[in-house]
Amino acid sequence: MKLARHLTFAALVAFAFVAAGCIHPPRNMPNESVIGYDGHDAVPPDCNALSRGAVLSDAGRRRPAMQWGCATFTNLAAQLAHPADIVAPQTLGPADAAVAASAVRRYETGRVIPLDKTSTRDTK
């Protein structure tokens, strides 16, 4: 009985390793470079250009093509606060522990500084 359990477990583990090695994403998947920039706004990708043929089939018939990443990159293009960062990303400045600590202290004591309305906007 114990031996049968061990063999069953070993067979399941072996199957999991084999299956994990066989499953991988299709080649040439799109990345963030499919989002364009027209000088003012982020331009979502052309979903037809992202179309990839199906690797699998159903009962011998090919599955329809899928537009990999279309919704993800279209939504990302719509959410970019500064679309120019697509072409020339800003570098991350050095961390300033004193500024971060004072912000936390102000938050804890209820003396939060309101947003600067000239450079930021409120979503309300």
Decide which of 2 and 93 is more confident: 93
Check pLDDT > 70 for residue 103. Answer: yes
Neighbours of 42 (CB within 10 A): 21
Q: What is the mean pLDDT of residues 65-70?
A: 81
**Which conformational region is residue 85 in: left (phi greater than 0), alpha (psi within -120 to 50 degrees), or beta?**
alpha
Q: Which two tokens stand for residue 93?
A: 């400045």
For tokens 């470079």, what's the residue?
A: 33
Residue 1, pLDDT > 90, answer: no
pLDDT of residue 68: 79
**pLDDT tens profile 11-21:** 666 666 555 55
Can you give the residue ranges of every domain in the chain?
Answer: 2-93
Residue 53 confidence class, pLDDT cut points 50, 70, 90: confident
- Asked whether residue 98 carries a pLDDT value surpassing 60, the answer given is yes
Residues 30-48, mean pLDDT to the nearest whole number: 86
* pLDDT for residue 108: 95
